[in-house]
């Protein structure tokens, strides 16, 4: 660990740079803990440029915790459509109801109390507490971890507990008693625009004189990275079933992958089972429909957190009344005009745009 004077000098340099060079982002114009919470949830695994319009639309529709808590989950998911990782939206909605019902509509100031809410982990809790309430809590997102491992040359995997503790100690030592959130934001900004993952712009860095990795010429070797795991591949099937200009969609149960979203009915074939047999089996068992499987309409490709999937979408004719069970809890006959009110899965949107049932200009 460095002496306290070194940490203070680095912090002062970061703040001076940040106040001069920071990007003008909408969540930086407020200290409202709810607005900051929404922004941090949206920014998880999503680029800033993508988040900005979603953030503005979301707060326009749900300006307070109470407004979000009072809303139907389906409306929240529909407004979230295109941001992906829908579990974030489900957790945000669930947590808003807890804040409304058990906390008087006010987010707690305490980091541990924030972490007890659904979807709020160590990083988001610290970001809210430090920025909104001036709590001296280090926010360890990927940008901060990258900056810290370079400046202080942390030479082990930051996902391992000893390295994580060391990074947290350095980050905490950089935080002054006054406006710790400003330093957290400055470190995050530095990692986002200068101390980037590959080929950082070291000459422009306001703290390059204190960077141990730069002095050693090993910037690109920090943080230490684990080998990437190859994602497994899954082949799926789905059915396009039309009646009087409407398509059958089903809603996934509100838990697990893509919970609460609407999709074309389908699933995963059993080993050795072809698309026709798989669709006939799945739709009979989980929808109570008898189907005649027709031609292939389109094949979609999507990447999820733990696997990649190719979905073969077939035009089908069906008899019977949909009675969803198993992976689905509702069914609907959808017209193109009604589609914006439904939170459709990415694979479903991709398929419906590919066959020109929906316009390609809708939000992805």
- DSSP code of residue 145: H
Q: Residue 254's closest CA among 103, 72, 96, 127?
A: 72
**Which of 20, 40, 75, 263 does the annotation list as catalytic?**
40
The SS3 call for residue 38 is helix
| 249, 188 Cβ separation under 8 angstroms | no
| Residue 132, strand partner residues | none
Query: Distance from first CA to last CA of the chain, Å, rounded?
Result: 46
H-helix or E-strand spanning residue 9? helix 4-21
Let me know if 40 is a catalytic residue: yes
What are the structure tokens assigned to 30, written together? Answer: 């407020």
Distance (Å) of CA 279 to CA 241, 264, 327: 12, 11, 14
Cis peptide before 239 (omega within 30 of 0): no
Q: Alpha-carbon Rg of the chain, whole angstroms?
A: 24
Active site residues: 40
């Amino acid at each position: 660990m460095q002496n306290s004077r070194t940490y203070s000098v680095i912090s002062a340099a970061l703040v001076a740079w940040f106040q001069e060079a920071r990007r003008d982002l909408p969540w930086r114009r407020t200290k409202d803990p709810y607005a900051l919470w929404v922004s941090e949830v949206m920014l998880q695994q999503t680029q800033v440029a993508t988040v900005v319009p979603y953030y503005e639309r979301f707060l326009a529709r749900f300006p307070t915790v109470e407004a979000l808590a009072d809303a139907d989950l389906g409306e929240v998911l529909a407004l979230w459509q295109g941001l992906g990782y829908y579990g974030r939206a489900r957790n945000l909605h669930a947590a808003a109801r807890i804040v409304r019902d058990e906390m008087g509509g006010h987010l707690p100031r305490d980091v541990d109390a924030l972490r007890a809410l659904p979807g709020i982990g160590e990083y988001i809790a610290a970001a809210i507490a430090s920025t909104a309430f001036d709590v001296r809590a280090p926010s360890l997102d990927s940008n901060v971890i990258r900056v810290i491992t370079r400046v202080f040359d942390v030479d082990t995997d930051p996902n391992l507990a000893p390295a994580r503790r060391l990074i947290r100690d350095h980050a905490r030592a950089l935080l002054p008693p006054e406006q710790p959130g400003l330093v957290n934001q400055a470190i995050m900004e530095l990692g986002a625009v200068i101390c980037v993952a590959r080929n950082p712009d070291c000459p422009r860095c306001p703290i390059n004189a204190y960077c141990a990795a730069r002095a050693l010429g090993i910037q690109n070797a920090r943080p230490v990275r684990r080998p990437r795991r190859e994602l497994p591949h899954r082949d799926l099937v789905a059915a396009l079933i039309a009646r009087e200009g409407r398509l059958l969609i089903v809603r996934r149960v509100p838990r697990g992958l893509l919970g609460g979203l609407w999709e074309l009915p389908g699933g995963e074939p059993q080993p050795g089972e072809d698309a026709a047999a798989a669709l006939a089996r799945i739709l009979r068992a989980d929808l109570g429909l008898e189907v005649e499987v027709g031609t292939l309409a389109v094949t979609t490709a999507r990447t999820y957190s733990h696997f990649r999937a190719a979905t073969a979408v077939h035009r089908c004719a069906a008899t019977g009344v949909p009675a969803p069970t198993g992976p689905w809890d509702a069914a609907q006959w959808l017209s193109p005009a009604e589609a914006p009110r439904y939170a459709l899965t990415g694979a479903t949107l991709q398929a419906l745009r590919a066959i020109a049932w929906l316009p390609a200009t809708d939000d992805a």
